[in-house]
Amino acid sequence: MEIEEWKNIIEDNKLKWINLQLTDLLGIFRQVVISSKMFDEDAINLGIGKLDGSSVYGFKEIYESDLTLRPVLDTLRTNPFEINTADIITEVFDTFGTKRLETDPRYVAQKTIAYTSSFGYNSLTAAELEFYIFDEIRSWLRPLFSGFEIKSGSAGYDEKTNHSLTIKGGYYVPPPFDESIKIRSEISDLLQDFYKITIESHHHEVGGAGQGEINMQALDPVSTSDNIQRIKYVSRFVAHKYGKIITFMPKPISDDAGNGMHVHVSLWNNGKNAFYDINDDYAGISQEARYFIGGLLSHGKALSAIVSPTVNSYKRLLPHYEAPIFLTWSKGNRSAAVRIPSYHKNYERRKRIEYRPPDPSCNPYLAISAIILAGIDGIVKKIDPGDPIDENIYKMAESKLRELKIERLPSSLDKALDELLNDNEFLRPAFSQSLIELYIELKRKEIEKINRTISPAEFYYYANI
């Protein structure tokens, strides 16, 4: 976008306020609001000194906390919720605004694009964002009183009404059973009309308490990550308008489906899909695609710390909920960590790899970057992914799992962080060592904080021992 173009946008829309938006190391979307009068050529070229890095997860200590936000002009969009206001995504700069901040997640994704390009590839990525829309969430965390309550008119867990749904009974249901279709449609309309995000589809998901999914167009890793953050941002606004609350928490309901964020990836070289091979009878994929899969499986345990980054994430990664726990690959197999979508034969444009472990609590810039870097490492080192597994892995006997040498994803965030600590060299082209160490430190503190609390389940099962 040229400078004259953004000036015209400000004038034509009578903009008074600009939301400067950024993402911290843990994936939290943040913003500061400035007057449009401050949004001049100096702000564009030099950045805006409005960020205390010590108050943002993973940025700076208090003694070196002055950071600069430099707006990305191509991301300027009018805000549909606030009058005379626009949103713009920013990049974070350090050292008098002259050097990119190493822990700015968007910078990590940009370095990943540059590294991928050094091998002659362009990457296309997309994500399936799953979420629940509830009437209300209440939670208590006090020394003598803790618990939570979810209210959902869609769910028939305790009392079945005319249009309520059962546990795992919501997949592709139409109205009137799909009570959140208007909310999803409005979210999708606003994303397309105001934010120029192409939404390919949305639908009710498996979860009976109002679970939904929104699918987006495949773009480069930075644009996809920007779009994920904006989808969450818009979704929360729209849900609030309807008196609802939307949650991207990986596992809000113990016995119902969890929220995933399956990531789709393809690599392109001179306009040709590097993952496609018309002569491959199994799934129409190339040897490069197989090596990419080998990288994902080889580094899958370490990836868990980034793509499944919360304590709650590992309550989603359980058998029989279409959440992958086994480091295997296959075509059309939703019990495997890596799936090759097989809806069409000989369709180069849609040939891709789906990595299923991620959930929407992740930082999309870090998660998508880590997935690509693991795959590129597989290509560079020619890592063999082994044979595909074309059966329901959840039903396999332990003896067969051992025979086939099928490994599991880590069963907790703590174990995943141990794996990342021991296997992170493949991330180095885009993740600095200090970023990795800081990320692990922040996540260890998060685990410690949660482990100190006593859950209601512990009283339920242990109070009378």
For the chain, list the domains and their CATH numbers. 16-101 (3.10.20.70), 112-462 (3.30.590.10)
Q: 61 vs 3, which has greater pLDDT?
A: 61
Per-residue pLDDT band for 54 (boundaries 50, 70, 90) equals confident
Q: Whose CA is closest to 385, among 429, 331, 334?
A: 331
Chain centroid to CA 331: 23
Q: How large is the average pLDDT for residues 136-150?
A: 89
pLDDT tens digits along 382-428? 999 999 999 999 888 999 999 999 999 999 999 999 999 999 999 99
User: What is the reported pTM?
Assistant: 0.96
Which residue positions form the known binding site for ATP?
A: 200, 264-266, 334
What b-and-e string marks burial along 315-335, b requiring 16 or more CB atoms within 10 Å of the CB? bbbeeebbbbbbbbbbbebeb
Residue 164 has pLDDT above 90, yes or no: no
**Kind plus residue range of the DSSP H or E element containing 32:** strand 29-35
Q: How far apart are CA 78 and CA 256, in angstroms?
A: 37
Q: Is the pLDDT of residue 3 over 90?
A: no
Mean pLDDT, rounded, for 167-194: 94
* C-alpha separations of 3 from 6, 77, 253 in Å: 5, 14, 48
> What's the pLDDT band for 64 if we cut at 50, 70, 90?
confident
* Residues tagged in the binding site annotation: 128, 130, 200, 205, 213, 262, 264-266, 316, 322, 334, 354, 356
Mean pLDDT computed over every residue of the chain: 93
Q: What is the Cα gyration radius of the chain?
A: 23
Give me the active site residues, please.
52, 128, 130, 205, 213, 262, 334, 354, 356
* Residue 378 DSSP code: H
Cα 325 to Cα 407: distance, rounded to the nearest angstrom: 9
**Predicted pLDDT of residue 159:** 57
CB atoms within 10 A of CB 196: 12
For 315-344, write each residue's pLDDT tens digit. Answer: 999 877 778 999 999 998 888 999 999 888
What is the pLDDT confidence band of residue 158, given thresholds at 50, 70 and 90? low
Share of the chain above pLDDT 90, in %: 77
Model confidence at 187: pLDDT above 70: yes
Q: What is the pLDDT of residue 334?
A: 83
Average pLDDT rounded to a whole number, residues 279-292: 96
